[in-house]
Structures are given as structure tokens and as C-alpha cells.
Amino acid sequence: MKSCALSIVSMSLLISVSALLAAERPSVSMPRQTSGDKAVQPQWEEWLSVTVGTKEADIVGNDQRAIQAAVDHMARLGGGTVRIKAGTYRLRNAVYLQTGVNLIGDGDKTVLIKEPSTTTPLKLDSDWYDQEITLHDVTGFQVGDGVCLRAKDAKNGTPTVIKRTLVARSGNRFKLDKPLRSNLWQMNGATCSTLFPLLSGEFVDDVRIEKLVLDGNRDHNAELDGNYGGCIFLQDCNRIHISGVKAHNNQGDGISWQICHDVVVENCISENNKNLGLHPGSGSQRPVIHGNTLRGNDIGIFFCWGVKYGLAENNIIEGNRVGISIGHRDTDNLITGNTVRGSKVNGVLFRPERGPDFAGHRNRIVKNTFIDNAPEGGAVIDIQGGTEAITISDNHFTESRGGKERLSVKCGTETKNIVVERSELRGLQP
């Protein structure tokens, strides 16, 4: 009898809790600034800001040190805006972003350019617990430089990539800002290069980057791929908003973000980068890519691993090898309203991956315009591997170049549930 009574009481509590959770939560009508509450804040009329410029600014300088000083100053005060005035700023290290600190430039008049890179082998081995390196040739290296240390295991080919800053020097020996935590041995071809992203954010949230030109100085720099660099590189960040930025001429990616959620990239230009124009990277959830121009890259938009619930809308994607690439567990994304033109291989490529469990399912390609994509006999949209449940609807396909006819959509033998409907075709086969 007691057990039955307890069951009745438990059920009553469960019903009460369920009713409470089902009720509508009151909206915030009079927000106050409360300690620790970043989700809801008052709409302040003025925020703390500081200017950086080559002259007549709060902080005067023409390299990353002046910008970094302003960013760190704002971070110490809890956030604000760094306004980078018109001028050319030559960078020997990344500008490291901080939570709640915005970077806003003066449009085309604010140019951040990477200085030329140099590379040298290590003269002595460094072990994983070391916090120093010895270089074979120090020409081109200075205290304060951002560097990339690389090696490849001689037995299994496993790469090691470490980004650090040189903070002290005696002859050919340099102290690093942080320990290595990986071995750098001469037998594995260990090298040191002055390579870094122009803007770098790791474990930072709530940042706006606006109205800047970021020049990777491609002709005078070695490559640093998008898993480690870019004109902008983000790792483990949240709620980053990038707008009105030109990211170009990089020996790597234009803008890359890895395991970053709710990133918005809008009204930007990413062009003439060796690798990827925009790189929503592994595990990134809910990216919004809107109104950008992605031109002359290897791939315009590269959905990496496990990118989900994203929107790519109203972008101009032209003159890339591949316009849009989708693959490893990139699911439930919407690609709509884009103009994809002049892709050398495919306008959209669904990568084959390792089988159906790894493919990019349930993506929608809707209301896009495809113009003169793919080589003779190729396909504008190529769906490979075990990709499933793709909807391709209301798209316009135009081919004006002549030659061997192209396909608008090509499906692989293992694909399933591919819906192609209401296509408008000019000069192509279905």
C-alpha cells in the first residue's frame, strides 16, 4: 500500500513538472546587465572602443603588435571594439582574437598583409617536453615571429604541425611561448617556417570581424593548409560574425573554421587562395554563408567533416576548380539561391568517402543557377559514393561553350533516394 502511494505521488510530481516545462517562458522585457549573463543584455548606446592606426590613433603602429595591444587591452576590460584605421599593416605574427573583442576596419583602406615567409631545418633535435628550438639558419627569423614547426615520421609518415611564437633568442636558439608537446627530430625532417594565420582565434566567443582586407602574400609565402591557417583561422569558437572582409592571395585557405558553431560569413570576398575559399571545418554546426563572392580558389565552399544544419545562400561562386564540395557526414544542409559559374571540374561535388555511413546525406540543392561548369562530358552536380536522400530542385542549368555534352546531375551506382525535379536546362542533358 505504501509503495502504491509513493507511485501515485511520483506520478503527480512528474505531471506537474511536465506541465511546467510545457508552459511558455516569459520573455525578457526589461533586461539588466547581470553577472555572467551573456545571452540577454541591455542594448547599450555606446561601447568601449580603441583605435589603432599608423598615425593619430589611441595606439600607433603598423604591424600586429599595435593591433594585438589594442585587442588585449579591450579583453582586460571585458570586451569592446578595436577600430583599425586606414593604412597598411605588415604582420610577422597572427593577431590573436579574444572573446568579446571586435575588429572593425575601414574597408578597402585597411590592409593587413603577411610578410614573406622563410623556412630552415632544425639544427638540433627537440623533444616533446622542450620549450626551445635550435635553427640551422636564423636569417629571416626574429623574436616575436609566429612560426610553424613541422615534421613527418620517417616510419609511418604521420605529420607533426605545431604553431608557436619565438619569445627569446641566443644565437641560433629560440625560446617558444609554449612547450612543444611533440617531438621535433632531424631524422623526421623537422623544419621551422614563419607561417601563421593573419587573424587567429582559438576558444574564443562572440567576436565580430568587419571591413578588413587580409592579404596572404601568396607569391612570397610557403603553404599552410586550412587545418592550421588561413587569412582567418578559427578553432573551437562560437558565435563569430565575419562581414565585409576580403581574404585573398593566401597559400592556403581564405577563411577556415574548425569545430566552430554558429559562425556567420556574409558579404565577404575570398579569392585567389591556393586551397579553399570558405572552409566550414570538422564538426562545425549551423554555419551561415550568405552573400559572399568566392572566386579563383581551388574549391569555393568546402564542407569538411560533420558540418550540419548549415545554410549557403545567395553567394557568387565562380572560377574555382570545384564550386561546392560536400562529404564526410555533412548532413542536413541547405544550398540555395547561389550562382555557380565556371567551375573547372564540378559545380557541386558530393565526395565518395568510405561508404554510406560516412557520406553526406539529406542535403538540399534548391533554386541555384549553374552556368558553364564542368569539362566536356562532365557533370555539373556529381553525386558519388553511398550518398543518400539528396534533393535537387528548381535549379537553372546553362551551358554555352559547346563541345561534348555535359550532364546536369550524375548519380553514382551506390547512391540512393536522389530526387531531381523541376530543373531548367539549356545546353545540357538531365
Q: In the prediction, which pLDDT does 20 show?
A: 55
72-81 contacts at long range (C-beta below 8 A, 24 or more positions apart): 72/98, 74/48, 74/49, 74/50, 74/98, 74/100, 74/101, 75/99, 75/100, 75/101, 77/48, 79/47, 79/48, 79/206, 80/47, 80/48, 80/49, 80/50, 81/47, 81/48, 81/49, 81/50, 81/208
Q: Is the pLDDT of residue 5 over 50?
A: no
- What digits encode the pLDDT tens for the residues 380-418? 999 999 999 999 999 999 999 989 999 999 999 999 999
Q: Residue 24's pLDDT band (boundaries 50, 70, 90)?
A: confident
- What digits encode the pLDDT tens for the residues 244-269? 999 999 999 999 999 999 999 999 99
Specify the pTM: 0.93
In angstroms, the Cα distances linking 108 to 104, 246, 247, 363 are: 12, 8, 11, 36
Regarding predicted confidence, which is higher, 4 or 161? 161
Residue range 267-281: average pLDDT?
Answer: 98
Q: In the prediction, which pLDDT does 336 show?
A: 98
Q: In the prediction, which pLDDT does 172 show?
A: 98
Q: In the prediction, which pLDDT does 83 show?
A: 98
Q: In the prediction, which pLDDT does 291 show?
A: 98
Residue range 197-214: average pLDDT?
Answer: 98
Q: In the prediction, which pLDDT does 1 show?
A: 42
Q: Residue 56's pLDDT band (boundaries 50, 70, 90)?
A: very high
Which residue in 114, 126, 133, 127 sits closest to 172, CA to CA?
133
Report percent pLDDT > 70 for the chain.
95
Q: Residue 232's pLDDT band (boundaries 50, 70, 90)?
A: very high
Q: Is the pLDDT of residue 8 over 60?
A: no
Q: Is the pLDDT of residue 14 over 80?
A: no
Q: Residue 10's pLDDT band (boundaries 50, 70, 90)?
A: low
Could you write out the DSSP letters of every residue in 78-132? T-EEEEE-SEEEEESSPEEP-TTEEEE--GGGEEEEEPPP-EEEBSS-B-TT--E
Residue range 168-193: average pLDDT?
Answer: 98
| 95 within 8 A of 149, measured Cβ to Cβ | no
- Rg of the chain over Cα atoms, rounded to whole angstroms, equals 25
Q: Residue 4's pLDDT band (boundaries 50, 70, 90)?
A: very low
